[in-house]
Amino acid sequence: MHSKKLRDFVFTLHRYIGLAIGLIAIIIGLTGSLLVFHDEISEFLLYRHIGTITPQGDAYGNPKRERLPVEVILNQVKTAYINQPDVTIDRIYISAKPNAPAIVVPRKQESDLAELYVNPYTGAIIGNSQKIFSERFFYFVYELHYSLLAGKTGYAIAGIAALLMFILSITGIVLWPGWRKLLNGFKIKLNAHPKRINFDIHKVAGIVTAIFIVLTGFTGFCWNFSDFTNPIIYAVTFTNKSASEPVSKLIPGKTPLELTDQLKTARATFPNAMLGTIYFPRKPEDALSIRFKLPQDDDENGQSYVYLDQYSGKVLRVDNILEIPLGDQVLNSFEPLHYGTFGGLPTRILYIFVGLAPLILFITGFVMWWYRRRSTSKLLKEAIFIETLSKNAQK
């Protein structure tokens, strides 16, 4: 294909994809910007709700308090639901921060209930997520970002939009005028005609954020279509993925082991790690999953897991973040690339502006399309007028 024809094809593709997904891209981008500092905002508002947790010794010289065993914290929560036998404990989060609450998530039938915040030194329930507006607000934002508040259908639409945003950014990089002259690609002529200023804003905003939109678009698509993309990633990286999840072997008449015994086995697997999260079995055949944070792990909650048979206590599988295969390393890299945490605070701040980019690019792109359509319409009217004059002159 001739280079000009190829460029015209890329330009047409870029224009119509932008017009087609513009509004959805704006929603995804703006909600993404709101979620960049979700954890910090939620933590700030959480402490305003529950107060301060102080493990240090008091002014009277009493020694520093130690955290209660997980089992004691869970018993406190179970006592609160003693009149609701159909309520079970789904999971508990233990933060590495000494002043953070333990978070317990009860479950009723198939739905999670409000998160409970528990003082890890006294076992007292000091709040729940239902009473914190920010938690409800960010839950709404999260659902809007990933599924457009439309359930499975919206989840698929958002995934397709993410793929089109990926393609849109690639075509934008190809069309960038800076390939001819680098300086022109980053210049905005503020004293030029509004049409030129609009174009300059579009090209600069596009090229500055393009690579990051490529990353967020690709990872978002892979997450929303993981059943399709994960096998491809494992195949490309020559990674053998376990065909099935660990399961407990049912023993007639035997009840699950006490959590204390299970934790001893799990901690022996990662003796130098911090306990992060315990995911309790939802079904009789499910395994008990315990998450740990190794000293070398940058993730705040840890990324290493021990799976145990809930009846025999046998270790069914160990996922050590330091030993995971290449395919899982690729999948684990999606989170920092999508949320902008790979470069610390500077990249997270940058990602706020990346989320604003679809709004800027859609507005400037629409204005460019409108200018182009108006010019085409004007030329068409002139051609019709000339043709009319010509026909009248022939009469």
CATH number of 314's domain: 3.10.450
Q: Is residue 95 part of a domain?
A: no
Q: How many domains does the chain have?
A: 2
**Among the listed residues 130, 136, 125, the one whose alpha carbon sits nearest the alpha carbon of residue 50:** 125
Location of structure tokens 């999508």: 338
Mean pLDDT of 142-167: 96
Give the CA count within 13 Å in the CB-facing half-sphere of 164: 21
In whole angstroms, how far apart are CA 330 and each of 41, 197, 213, 326, 337? Answer: 29, 40, 18, 6, 11
Predicted confidence at residue 393, as pLDDT, reads 45
150 and 265 share one domain: no
Between 99 and 219, whose confidence is greater? 219
The residues, any chain, with a CB within 8 Å of residue 250's CB and separated by 6 or more, are 284, 285, 311
Domain that holds residue 266: 246-324
Rounded distance between C-alpha atoms, residue 18 and residue 24, angstroms: 10
Return the sign of the alpha-carbon dihedral for residues 70, 71, 75, 78: positive
pLDDT of 144 strictly over 60: yes
Count of C-beta atoms within a 10 Å radius of residue 295: 7
Rounded distance between C-alpha atoms, residue 294 and residue 286, angstroms: 25
348 and 228 share one domain: yes
pLDDT of 390 strictly over 50: no
**Among the listed residues 35, 25, 272, 16, the one whose alpha carbon sits nearest the alpha carbon of residue 142:** 35
147 and 287 share one domain: no
34 and 147 share one domain: yes
Tokens of 135: 């938690």
287 and 357 share one domain: no
147 and 29 share one domain: yes
205 and 319 share one domain: no
Q: Is residue 293 part of a domain?
A: yes
Q: What's the mean pLDDT when you consider all of the chain?
A: 89
pLDDT of 394 strictly over 50: no
The residues, any chain, with a CB within 8 Å of residue 4's CB and separated by 6 or more, are none
pLDDT of 258 strictly over 80: yes
